[in-house]
Amino acid sequence: MTANRKLAGALGADLSSGLSRVSMLRPPGTYNYKHDPRQPVRIVGLSGSRAYDLAELVAGLTDPKPPPPPYVPNTGPVTGIRLEDPSIEQTHAALKNLDAREWMPRLTGIELSASGYMSCPFHDERTASLKAYPNGSWYCYGCHQGGSIFDFAAALWGRDTRGVAFVELRADLARMLLAIELPTPDTLRQTPVGV
């Protein structure tokens, strides 16, 4: 793909078309109608016996349209959320109301499109159908799952949204996204009496 882009750029070819493979060449004596006025197709050079190594062929050519750098999700707490001595209820509400476009990439490592869509991690699909909303909710138009951050994290991590499993799920999300430590049954059992 990179070699195709470099060759296309060096030859002044159309970079907007799919460059996943080298397309068939137009025969000499015909016209290229992508330009106005049309351009005659001609052979610039021909050597039937010469074989080219791909690295040799593209050596020194620059990539006219390099791919974007790989997506790296933000880590650490979500900025802009400040809770002074938060209660469990305040932390729960803060998590539930976090913009899903902010927390979803942090939990999945997948970048959202500009319109807030991503490929759903819960089913196979070719076109991104899971939508993240600013109010903290999400919905997949492919598999019809949706809900809150708790529903998403539970499905993603294979956990439950009830009882002790939910308390631990919420504590993990609070630690990961808000840098808040919530008590869990395990931490309460470890705390000495009278502390």
Most confidently modeled range among 20-29, 32-41, 151-160: 151-160
Q: Report, at the CATH architecture level, how domain 88-190 is classified.
A: Alpha-Beta Complex (3.90)
Contact call for residues 29 and 41 (beta carbons, < 8 A): yes
The answer on pLDDT for 9 being more than 70 is yes
Distance CA 86, CA 55 (A): 59
Q: What is the pLDDT of residues 118-144, one digit of tens each?
A: 999 999 999 999 999 999 999 999 999
> Would you mind telling me the total number of residues written for the chain in this entry?
195
Residue 161 confidence class, pLDDT cut points 50, 70, 90: very high
Residue 3 confidence class, pLDDT cut points 50, 70, 90: confident
Share of the chain above pLDDT 90, in %: 45
Tokens of 109: 């490592």
More confident: 101 or 63: 101
Question: Dihedral through CA 78, CA 80, CA 81, CA 82, nearest 10?
Answer: 130
Residue by residue, what is the 3-state secondary structure of the chain? Answer: CHHHHHHHHHHCCCCCCCCCCCCCCCCCCCEECCCCCCEECCCCCCCCCCCCCHHHHHCCCCCCCCCCCCCCCCCCCCCCCCCCCCCHHHHHHHHHHCCHHHHHHHHHCCCCCCCCEECCCCCCCCCCCEEECCCCCEEECCCCCEECHHHHHHHHHCCCCCHHHHHHHHHHHHHHHHCCCCCCHHHHHHCCCCC
- pLDDT the model gives residue 98: 93
pTM of the model: 0.60
Residue 66: C-alpha distances to residues 75, 110, 144 (Å):
26, 20, 36
Phi-psi region of 33 (alpha: psi -120 to 50; beta: other; left: phi over 0): alpha
- pLDDT the model gives residue 15: 66
Most confidently modeled range among 11-15, 55-59, 87-91, 165-169: 165-169
Contact call for residues 65 and 5 (beta carbons, < 8 A): yes
More confident: 2 or 94: 94
CATH 3.90.580.10 placement within the chain: 88-190
